[in-house]
Each structure stands twice: as structure tokens, then as C-alpha cells.
Amino acid sequence: MTRRISIVTYVLLGMLALSGPLAHGADRAASLATQADLDNALTKTLGQEDAARNTITTLLQRDDVRSMAESRGLDVRRAEAAVSTLQGEELQQLSLLASNANAQLAGGTTVITISLVAALLIVIIIILLVN
């Protein structure tokens, strides 16, 4: 019985000793692939953030948006300056709102619905609050 335990112990120690170098080699290969993946993901994220900022800025530069914001006492220039500070989930949500508002305003409709006005005001107010 003691002999079986010692054999099992030696086998387990041998497997443990051999698994160290193998695990280290696998980590090294994975880290090289991971670095390339990180670089690609970073480039993609920066491109998406730039596109999102452009969408918001395009909305804020519209004459009808400027006049609506000014009539409610909001400073559009300050909001435009604050767009560059937005990032992450907040940037994506505001970009989606701005994209929807741009699409509705560019559609040629003369009637602006309350939801569009609310979306525009939310975009401008959140931008101003972030800064």
C-alpha cells in the first residue's frame, strides 16, 4: 500500500514538473496573439469613437438644433467642446440618439415630434453636464 502511494506521488510530481515549461510556452504564444488582437481592437474602438463624435457634432452644428438650444438657454458651443471628452457607453448612447435625431431632421419632415425635441435636449444637456 505504501509502495502504491509513493508511485502515485512520483507520477504526480513528474507531471507537475513537466507541466510548468509547457504552460509557460503556451502563455508566451498566447500573449503574442493577444497583443495583436489588442492592437486591432484599439484601432477599431478609436475609429468607432471618432465616428460617434462626428455624429454628435453634426447634429449640434445644424441651424435648427442651434436655434432650439439657444431658445432654451443652452450653449451649443460649450456642448460641442465637451463632445471630445465623452467616451465609452455614454458616447455610444449619445451617438445613437444623435443619429436618430439627424435621420429624422434630414428626412424633410416639417413637424418635429416631442420625442425628437426631448432627444436633442437630452443630448445637449448630458454633454454639458459631462464637461
Of 93, 30, 96, 107, give the one whose Cα is nearest residue 64: 107
Q: What are the backbone dihedrals phi and psi of residue 109, each rounded to the nearest 5 degrees, phi first?
A: -75, 140
Q: Using one digit for the tens of pLDDT, what is the confidence trace for 45-75?
A: 788 888 989 988 988 888 888 888 888 888 8
pTM (predicted TM-score): 0.57
CB 95 within 8 A of CB 56: yes
Q: Using one digit for the tens of pLDDT, what is the confidence trace for 31-43?
A: 565 777 878 887 8
